[in-house]
Amino acid sequence: MNQPEPVLLDFSLLDRQIVDSQGLMVGNVDDLELAVTDQGRLQVTALLSGQQVLGDRLGGRLGRWMSAVARRLSPTPDPQPLRIPYDLVDTVGSEITLTVAKDLLAEPPLEAWLRKYLIDRIPGGRDASQ
Amino acid sequence: MKRLLAITLGILTAIGGFVDIGDLVANSETGARFGMSLAWVVVVGVIGICVYAEMSGRIGAVSHRAVFDLVRERLGPRVGLANLVGSYLVTLLTLSAEIGGVALALELASSVNYLLWVPVAAFAIWAALWRIKFETLERVFGLLGLCLVIFIIALVQLGPDWGDLGRQAASFQPTEGENWATYGFFGVSLFAAAMTPYEVFFFSSGAVEEGWTRKDLITERLNVFVGFPLGGILSLAVMGCAAVTFLPVGASVSDLGQTALPVPVALGRLGLVIVILGFFAATFGAALETGLSAGYTVAQYFGWQWGKMVPPRRAARFHTVVLVSVLLGLILLLTTIDPVQLTEYSLVFSAVVLPLTYLPILIVANDRDYLGDQVNGPFANILGVSYLIIIVVAAIAAIPLMIITGVGA
Amino acid sequence: MRASDLLGRDVFDTAGNAVGRIVDLIARHDADGQLMVSAALVAPGRRTRLFTYERPALAAPWLVHTAIRRLHGDVNEIQLSDLRLGPEARELPLPASLRQPDGDENS
């Protein structure tokens, strides 16, 4: 585990690319989930990723519009943001590396939908390029 | 030969920056109206893009993060989004123009109207982006684009008065019949063309696609310091040919056919064939560059998996953006808008987006968490800050000049 | 709650005086390896982004550095327990207080 001490939440975590243990891209850190512990302390519990989360964070008319678009583009009626528990975070540096592979995390619905209904329908989408 | 193959990423990126459809016609038009008196702008632009492409390539190789990752990270999601919208629009307009350019090159070759070639070109570009390996695309079009070296040969063959050309280049003022406003507008356009943001988007993402690491920094620098000056020399050759052919007779240049003219004049039929091949390769290469960059910017802003280094089904959103961008470009062209005009407008908007792209690069190039011991030395920082100032000046001057001169009329 | 709920908020000291806006949150790992927020970086004036941060890892060009410092003014690190989200607020409006037990983290 390689994380700076102390961690600046906005500077070091927010808006950084999340990468899995194989180097594949998972998403950006669009927000952080904070929780108040029983002892009354504030803990960073999870990374949050997703266009709706980003829209909520941007706020204002722009943010609301982005969240609305994200909801409309989502195939499920009530999309949940991608939530990555903080203990899956390995290193915090130029990118946020996780200890697990991407497959273990929920796939963003838009990616799944586009893959199934568009990309896989075009010949050649499955293999690596020639 | 292997050495030559290693620098094709730089060459291909430079093609998009110096000899794509917009640059070919603009450089020719500049030569026809201003002779070589704006040549210094190309030199200034080459140095600027070398400085920043080297930084962005270094960041890509050492940290595997491309420029648009940095834009959002350093400027924040709000300003980053403003940059995204601006950069995407500029890249899309340019992509559309390049598809048109490919069609125009095919028209020159076949005498079939370019509008009929447009759907063919769009499909071919998309199919190449879909199926062909990044490295192959880079090698083929980087090398074929070098056919444009024919302009250098043609210039020499035309037997110009080199002293005269030198005097024009050193004059630093508008030629007869032009004023400071048009001189300024063409100067800003040339500079913005040399430093268009999609060049650094493409080069840094290409560094990651190629799998460059810290060990490849020598290759990275070779790509920059050979590729971009070469692009600059080619664009000066186009300018020179036009200066020699059109300036003395006061003719103006506005299309690709006229841009090509000095070459068959100097070198006959074979020259014409080679220059058309060069146009095709350069515009096709630039279309690939802008098509991918359209995908890179959006995907990197949102954090999606991007790149041709994974199969398309593993980067569905990225490939959808690329597909939609090519389609939008196609539709735009089918409205019969002149592709060359498109680039002139997009150039000016890109001048405004430039500062928001280059500032994050400069900041991150100094960040040891990113680059370890490969951070900027004082020389790179002096150049980086100087060019940032020049870029801001160009950005502020761009739109007023465009309005005053009526887009360079 | 989310980090974005706190970032950019106007904050006040225990006496109810405005001290500025939260520019960033400082967190440290505790003995169990959990990441705990202990303090906030507060800047007077407008909320701006911390483009760069004063630390040994950064060697920014002097001009960029001073320009940015002038933009956001001097940034202070203040313990969460010394901050309130409102001039009249007794404590931050959370399910439990943000105040930490004495003798915990040092600064």
> Mean pLDDT across the stretch A11-33?
94
> Mean pLDDT across the stretch B161-167?
89
The nearest CA of chain B is from the CA of A65 a distance in Å of 13
Average confidence score pLDDT of chain B: 91
Residue B405 has pLDDT above 90, yes or no: no
The nearest CA of chain C is from the CA of A8 a distance in Å of 5
Q: Which residues of A touch B316 (CB under 8 A)?
A: 111-112, 114-115, 118-119
Find the range with the poorest average confidence among B137-151, B284-298, C79-93: C79-93
Average confidence score pLDDT of chain A: 88
Residue A70 has pLDDT above 90, yes or no: no
Residue spans per domain, chain A: 9-125
The more confidently predicted of residues B341 and A48 is A48
> Mean pLDDT across the stretch B18-31?
92
If you average pLDDT over each of A7-21, C50-64, C86-100, which comes out highest?
A7-21
What is the pLDDT at residue B289? 95
What is the pLDDT at residue C95? 40
What radius of gyration, in Å, describes the C-alpha atoms of chain A? 17
Residue C69: pLDDT band (50, 70, 90) is low
The more confidently predicted of residues C88 and B36 is B36
Contact across the interface for B133 and A124, Cβ inside 8 Å: no
For B340-367, what is each residue's pLDDT tens digit? 888 877 876 787 788 999 999 998 998 8
Contact across the interface for B363 and C63, Cβ inside 8 Å: no
For B87-120, what is each residue's pLDDT tens digit? 999 999 999 999 999 999 999 999 899 999 999 9
What is the pLDDT at residue B341? 84
| Percent share of chain B, pLDDT over 70 | 99
What is the pLDDT at residue C101? 35
Residue B160 tokens, joined: 């110009």
If you average pLDDT over each of B16-25, B119-128, B162-171, C8-17, which comes out highest?
B119-128
What is the Cα–Cα distance from B406 to B185, expressed in whole angstroms?
10
Angle of CA points A110, B206, A3, to nearest 5°: 70
For residue A29, how many other CB atoms are within 10 A of its CB? 27
What is the pLDDT at residue C60? 58
Residue C99 has pLDDT above 80, yes or no: no
Interface check C106 vs A, CB under 8 A: no
Contact across the interface for B362 and C61, Cβ inside 8 Å: yes
For B206-232, what is each residue's pLDDT tens digit? 999 999 999 999 999 999 999 999 999
Residue C58 has pLDDT above 60, yes or no: no
What is the pLDDT at residue C70? 65
What is the Cα–Cα distance from A112 to A46, expressed in whole angstroms?
23
DSSP class per residue in B94-133: HHHHHHHHHHHHHHHHH-S-HHHHHHHHHHHHHHHHHHS-
Contact across the interface for C49 and B381, Cβ inside 8 Å: no
For B45-71, what is each residue's pLDDT tens digit? 999 999 999 999 999 999 999 999 999
Q: Best interface-test mutation with B: which of C23, C64, C68, C71 has the largest number of B CBs within 10 A?
A: C64
> Mean pLDDT across the stretch B146-164?
91
Nearest chain B Cα to A94, which residue?
B370
What is the pLDDT at residue C104? 35
Choices 2.30.30.240, 3.40.50.300, 3.40.50.720, 3.40.50.150: CATH for A9-125: 2.30.30.240
Q: Best interface-test mutation with B: which of A15, A53, A95 has the largest number of B CBs within 10 A?
A: A15
Residue C102 has pLDDT above 50, yes or no: no
> Mean pLDDT across the stretch A13-30?
95
Angle of CA points B287, B255, B42, to nearest 5°: 70
Contact across the interface for A6 and C27, Cβ inside 8 Å: yes
DSSP class per residue in A9-63: IIIIITTPEEE-TTS-EEEE--EEEEEE-TTS-EEEEEEEESHHHHHHHH-HHHH
Find the range with the poorest average confidence among A103-112, B246-255, B344-353: B344-353
What is the Cα–Cα distance from B326 to C58, expressed in whole angstroms?
40
* Inter-CA distances, B187 with B41, B42, B174, B241, B280, Å: 6, 9, 10, 18, 26
Residue C80: pLDDT band (50, 70, 90) is confident
Residue C106 has pLDDT above 50, yes or no: no
What is the pLDDT at residue A88? 94
DSSP class per residue in B148-176: GGHHHHHHHHT---HHHHHHHHHH-S--T
> Mean pLDDT across the stretch B186-209?
93
Nearest chain B Cα to A28, which residue?
B303
List A83's β-bridge partners, or say none.
A48
Find the range with the poorest average confidence among A69-83, B135-149, B281-295, C50-64: C50-64
Residue C94 has pLDDT above 70, yes or no: no
Q: Which chains touch A (3 or more CB pairs under 8 A)?
A: B, C
What is the Cα–Cα distance from C90 to C15, expressed in whole angstroms?
10
> Mean pLDDT across the stretch A98-124?
89
Residue A62 tokens, joined: 């722009």
The more confidently predicted of residues C57 and B214 is B214
What is the pLDDT at residue C54? 46
What is the Cα–Cα distance from C22 to C83, expressed in whole angstroms?
10
Interface check A52 vs B, CB under 8 A: no
Burial readout B64-76 (b: 16 or more C-beta within 10 A, e: otherwise)? bbbbbbbbbbbbb
Neighbour-count burial of C28, counting CB atoms closer than 10 A to its CB (0-12 exposed, 13-18 middle, 19+ buried): middle
> Mean pLDDT across the stretch C50-60?
49
Interface check C46 vs B, CB under 8 A: no
> Mean pLDDT across the stretch B382-409?
88
What is the Cα–Cα distance from B185 to B189, expressed in whole angstroms?
6
Contact across the interface for C98 and A40, Cβ inside 8 Å: yes
| Percent share of chain A, pLDDT over 90 | 46
Angle of CA points B279, B292, B137, to nearest 5°: 55
What is the Cα–Cα distance from B387 to B280, expressed in whole angstroms?
32
Backbone angles phi, psi at B407, to 5 degrees: 55, 45
What is the pLDDT at residue A126? 72
Residue C100 has pLDDT above 50, yes or no: no
Residue A130 tokens, joined: 């020639």
Q: Best interface-test mutation with A: which of C6, C35, C52, C106 has the largest number of A CBs within 10 A?
A: C35
Nearest chain C Cα to A48, which residue?
C2
> Would you call the peptide bond into B77 cis, given omega within 30 degrees of 0 as the criterion?
no
For B290-323, what is each residue's pLDDT tens digit? 999 999 999 999 999 999 999 999 999 999 999 9
Residue A60: pLDDT band (50, 70, 90) is confident
Residue B172 has pLDDT above 60, yes or no: yes
What is the pLDDT at residue B47? 96
Residue B135 has pLDDT above 50, yes or no: yes
Residue C73: pLDDT band (50, 70, 90) is low
Find the range with the poorest average confidence among B29-33, B144-148, B260-264, C83-87: C83-87
Residue C84: pLDDT band (50, 70, 90) is confident
What is the pLDDT at residue B347? 73
